[in-house]
Amino acid sequence: MMIKSLDRINELARKDRGEGLTSVERMEQKELRQHYLREIRGQVLSTISGLTVIDPLGNDVTPDKVRLERRG
């Protein structure tokens, strides 16, 4: 899944390296980065909470923290 704000984040980063950003653009960049990190963390949490860990003997050894996260 592509995060929509990523193009704008990259655009602002290029501008910052080149000519620099205005204070309004810096605030926008900060907010977009925070949103991006929330999205990534949500995706990682979703992926991890869907995992089941099986040991070599076939026993489910999924950590309790992951099981609790599944239940919500």
pLDDT of 14-72, one tens digit each? Answer: 999 999 999 999 999 999 999 999 999 999 988 988 889 999 999 999 998 888 887 76
What integer pLDDT is reported at residue 61 of this predicted model?
A: 94
Q: Return the SS3 of 60.
A: strand
Q: What is the pLDDT of residue 70?
A: 77
- Helical H runs in 4-59? 6-18, 23-49
| Domain spans in the chain, listed from the N-terminal domain onward | 6-71
Q: Which residues partner with 60 through β-bridges?
A: 54
d(CA 35, CA 8): 12
Is residue 13 over pLDDT 60?
yes
Amino acid at 34: Q
